[in-house]
Amino acid sequence: MSESDPDMMKPETMKSYIWLQTSDGSVQQVEQEVAMFCPMICQEVIHNGAGSSESHAISLPQRVNPDMLSLILDYCRFHQVPGRSNKERKSYDEKFMRMDTKRLCELTSAADSLQLKPLVDITSRALARIIEGKSPEEIRDIFHLPDDLTEEEKLEPLKNTMDDPRIRLLNRLYAKKRKELKERERLKNVEIGEHVDERSVDDLLSFINSRDPKTSKGKKKSKKKKDQKIDSSNDREGPEDFHDKESHDLHSKQQGVEETGSSMREVPEDDIFMPKVAGSEDGDIDDEIDPAMKEMLDREVEDFARRLNSNWVCSLGQERRPVHFSINGNRTTRQHIGQSSGHN
Amino acid sequence: MATLPMDIINDVFLRLPATTLVRCRALSKPCFSLIDSPDFATSHLKRTLETEQHLMILLQSDRLLRTVRVDSPDKLSDVESPLPTGGFTEVFGSVNGLIGLTNSPVDLSIFNPSTRKIHRLPIEPIDFPQHSITREYVFYGLGHDSASDDYKVVRMVQCKRKDGDGGYPFEIKVFSLKSNRWKRIHLRSEVQILVTNSYYNLTYRSGNGVLAGNSFHWILPRSEGYIESNTIIRFDLASEALGVLSFPEVLYYEDYMDIAVLDGCLCLMCYGDFSRVDVWILREYGGKWSKFITVVPTSETVVSLEFVRPMIYSKDRRKILFEINNGKLFWFDLASKSFEALGVKGYDEGRPWNVEIVVSSLVLGCKGDPRRAPEKRMMQKGNKRSDDFLSKGFKLKL
């Protein structure tokens, strides 16, 4: 207690103050009882003896900017008064929470870094209430979350998606498929424009009009392309992650084309978030395949699925039971599944 | 602007109902792994049980499943029926967010209506031939065994033909989710004698076991001229033993009696003469029963009382939600003894509904039914192109 301490000399200062420094470097002094309401500040004062003067101001965590600090201090100033009733406190809290979501997030973050648990509690509660009504984009925006899940993961998330080699394969193939569909899309437009010189008018006409599987040159071209793609994908370890952007583009393209009749019931909440996978545009491409080939491929797919399916069933430790391929069964017919005749 | 640290997001997520969490799971990778983690599911369940938040009422009628939040009864949501068509489904039991569904006595499932995850139990045949049992007189129970932290399902079936010893044999089997297996339970001889002494005709929903004190309870009803007095049997989940629960002698000869649980306490409802129902309560398991309330029909709202079942207290504990007759829900004010309809909008009063209170939880996980996943993927492709593409991959790799 040095005599030259300016605070001690001032007769009118009955209170003592704590000095705090915020992330932007500015320093301010705060009444001791208010500041000590924050556990983190309390710790600093008691254990490290900090905050007693301007030069020894307590450096607050980075997440506490002056704006947030003033809010937090308001909160502390109110609540540190012992005489208040629960009703008063609750009512204050309610009013206090009224601010826009971004600020609320900042406040939660700041309160958390100061270990002010009661404030973190009410802000979390407020955030939870806000989130319940929001769409995924909005929630991602609020929390700054990256949109880094694949379409499969969003639709039918499986545990350890990347671990099962079959799933990895499926994902990879699915990705290649999408890239390739895009390619074909692009090519189709290009073909009609540029290569008109190379083909006879008849060829061109038949290609454009009928999409006849036997004669269309376009089909052959794309088939070859597809084979190439598959071969290349199997020759080397292709990149596993595919860009979501691509899938989004593909889906948005197809989205307008066909939306199917969903179930009669009220749509459960999470249906809104499932991207609608339309089938009809792809359905056009289907006609190009030789029907006999189709049959064979259907059987192979069914086999594959059954194999996948049965292994899963076994691994769950359940008895082997006949698998129901009832596609039109429980889930709503969100997707257009009319073509999947081969499965039944 | 700085991102919120993951533990704050954790904090916020813990306060959300499971249905919202299922959606949040698809937001981004960190959320995905957070919500999938068993620790998160456990803390979430603990929290919803403690705070009694997000409680839902589940209504079931045949294949229709509907849920409504207790605190906002105007929002009724449909839950897609997880079971395939056919059979007539009944719900039996609700614990920690799971409900039991029976398609038939051998075909049971555990379902979480919030996450839509279903677990089909292995088909477990009944020892007795089909003509010797009455399908409606099967006892069920779904509960959580706190001793082994396991979810168990109990099924008891009685044969209507006497065996060599002159009794009506009982078959008791228990399913454990952890081991995913059924197991037969053998009875101690004195219990065996007691339960096989008579053939019990069960009344409306009295086959559904009531969970309290880590045990299931059912009433073995008396029957004038045949069975002298009522008995309450209990199945202890930890020891997996069947026993008897004591209750006031004055109720031994009650003709119509039902058992329920309110806030963890067992309740007995005695229908005197359908003009009033006495509710007894066992506040402490192993303690003494006491008379709780008497419910009387009021002329406007509740006209007759054929089935009365207390479900939960209101937040301020001044009212009790009752299920009356065929699935109608009323708040009973303890002070004024009056009824007030819950007022669920769009709830088809013409149908008979089974009612259960369901907690919002992530128990059983968020995964879609893994058996449906490859199917779904096939569906999503929806077209042969990708199918043949897949099969090509299949040929080359698998």
- A133-163 pLDDT, tens digit per residue, is 788 888 888 888 878 777 766 665 544 333 3
Buried b (16+ CB within 10 A) or exposed e, B304-338: ebebbbbbbeeeeeebbbbbbebbbbbbbeeeeeb
The confidence score (pLDDT) of residue A319 equals 39
The dihedral of CA A324, A329, A333, A337: what is its sign?
Answer: positive
Which residues in B lie closer than 8 A to residue A287 (C-beta atoms)?
none
Q: Contact B27/A140, CB-based, under 8 Å?
A: yes
Residue of B nearest to A272 (CA): B23
The dihedral of CA A38, A42, A45, A48: what is its sign?
Answer: negative
Mutate to test the interface with A, among B29, B384, B392, B397 (most CBs of A within 10 A): B384
Backbone φ and ψ of B351, nearest 5°: -85, 155
Which residues in A lie closer than 8 A to residue B393 (C-beta atoms)?
169-170, 173, 230, 233-234
Residue of A nearest to B371 (CA): A309
Q: Contact B367/A313, CB-based, under 8 Å?
A: no
Mutate to test the interface with A, among B1, B3, B4 (most CBs of A within 10 A): B4
Residue of A nearest to B384 (CA): A286
Q: How far is B15 from chain A (nearest CA, A)?
A: 6
Residue B68 to residue B360: CA distance in whole angstroms: 11
Mutate to test the interface with B, among A308, A333, A343 (most CBs of B within 10 A): A308
Q: Residue B259: is it exposed, middle or buried by C-beta count within 10 angstroms (0-12/13-18/19+)?
A: buried
Q: Contact B398/A125, CB-based, under 8 Å?
A: no
Residue of A nearest to B372 (CA): A309
Contact A225, A156 (CB under 8 A): no
- Which residues in chain B (53-112) have CB-CB distances under 8 A to chain A? 76-85
A283-322: pLDDT as tens digits: 344 444 456 666 666 666 666 656 655 544 444 433 334 4
Mutate to test the interface with B, among A143, A177, A287 (most CBs of B within 10 A): A143
Q: Contact B28/A145, CB-based, under 8 Å?
A: yes
The confidence score (pLDDT) of residue A291 equals 63
Which residues in A lie closer than 8 A to residue B68 (C-beta atoms)?
none
What count of other Cβ atoms lies within 10 Å of the Cβ of residue A8? 12
User: Is 70 exceeded by the pLDDT of residue A55?
Assistant: yes
The confidence score (pLDDT) of residue B302 equals 74
User: Is 90 exceeded by the pLDDT of residue A183?
Assistant: no
Residue A319 contacts B where some CB pair is shorter than 8 Å: yes
Nearest to A327 among B3, B379, B383 (CB): B379
The confidence score (pLDDT) of residue B248 equals 93
Q: Is the ipTM of this complex over 0.90?
A: no
The confidence score (pLDDT) of residue B28 equals 84
Average pLDDT on A60-88 reads 88
Which residues in A lie closer than 8 A to residue B367 (C-beta atoms)?
157-159
- Please, which residues have CB within 8 angstroms of residue B48's CB and are 6 or more apart in sequence? B17, B54, B97, B359, B360, B361
The confidence score (pLDDT) of residue B133 equals 87
Q: Contact A106/B395, CB-based, under 8 Å?
A: no
- Please, which residues have CB within 8 angstroms of residue B140's CB and are 6 or more apart in sequence? B92, B93, B100, B102, B108, B153, B154, B155, B207, B208, B209
DSSP, collapsed to helix, strand or coil, labels residue A301 as: helix
Please choose, from the candidates B126, B112, B109, the residue with its C-alpha nearest in 3D space to the C-alpha of residue B173.
Answer: B126
Which residues in B lie closer than 8 A to residue A300 (C-beta atoms)?
388, 391, 394-395
Residue B307 to residue A188: CA distance in whole angstroms: 69
The confidence score (pLDDT) of residue A268 equals 41
- Which residues in chain A (210-239) have CB-CB distances under 8 A to chain B? 226, 230, 233-234
Q: Contact A156/B376, CB-based, under 8 Å?
A: yes
Q: How far is A330 from chain B (nearest CA, A)?
A: 6
Quote the tokens at residue A161: 């998606």
DSSP, collapsed to helix, strand or coil, labels residue A23 as: coil
B282 - beta bridge partners?
B266, B289
Mutate to test the interface with A, among B77, B385, B386, B395 (most CBs of A within 10 A): B385
Average pLDDT on A118-134 reads 89
- Which residues in chain B (141-180) have CB-CB distances under 8 A to chain A? 180
Residue A130 contacts B where some CB pair is shorter than 8 Å: no
Which residues in A lie closer than 8 A to residue B85 (C-beta atoms)?
329
User: Is 70 exceeded by the pLDDT of residue A247?
Assistant: no
Q: How far is B378 from chain A (nearest CA, A)?
A: 8
Helix (H) or strand (E) holding B210: strand B210-212
Nearest to B77 among A106, A266, A298 (CB): A266
- Please, which residues have CB within 8 angstroms of residue A315's CB and are 6 or more apart in sequence? none
Which residues in B lie closer than 8 A to residue A254 (C-beta atoms)?
none
User: Is 60 exceeded by the pLDDT of residue A330?
Assistant: no
Residue B349 contacts A where some CB pair is shorter than 8 Å: no
Residue A105 contacts B where some CB pair is shorter than 8 Å: yes
Instruction: Count Cβ–Cβ pairs < 8 Å, chain A vs chain B.
Output: 231
Average pLDDT on A13-26 reads 80
For residue A198, what pLDDT band results from cuts at 50, 70 and 90?
A: low
Nearest to B385 among A109, A176, A282 (CB): A282
Which residues in B lie closer than 8 A to residue A170 (C-beta atoms)?
377, 390, 393
Residue B336 to residue B198: CA distance in whole angstroms: 43
B234-274: pLDDT as tens digits: 999 999 999 999 999 999 988 889 999 999 999 999 987 76
Quote the tokens at residue A241: 């992650």
The confidence score (pLDDT) of residue A223 equals 43
Q: Contact B24/A318, CB-based, under 8 Å?
A: no
A209-241: pLDDT as tens digits: 665 444 444 444 444 444 444 444 444 433 434
pLDDT lower than 50: segments of chain B = 1-2, 368-375, 383-384, 386-387, 393-398
Q: Contact B379/A174, CB-based, under 8 Å?
A: no
What structural domains does chain B harbor? Answer: 1-36+368-398 (no CATH), 37-367 (2.120.10.80)
Nearest to B371 among A108, A174, A312 (CB): A312
User: Is 50 exceeded by the pLDDT of residue A120?
Assistant: yes
Whole-number Cα distances in Å, B352 to B22, B264, B312: 30, 26, 20
Please choose, from the candidates B88, B184, B169, the residue with its C-alpha nearest in 3D space to the C-alpha of residue B133.
Answer: B169
Nearest to B84 among A139, A263, A329 (CB): A329
Nearest to A136 among B1, B23, B366 (CB): B23
Residue B12 contacts A where some CB pair is shorter than 8 Å: yes
Nearest to B16 among A128, A149, A330 (CB): A128
B153 - beta bridge partners?
B142, B175
Q: Contact A132/B375, CB-based, under 8 Å?
A: no
Please choose, from the candidates A236, A241, A192, A240, the residue with its C-alpha nearest in 3D space to the C-alpha of residue A217.
Answer: A192
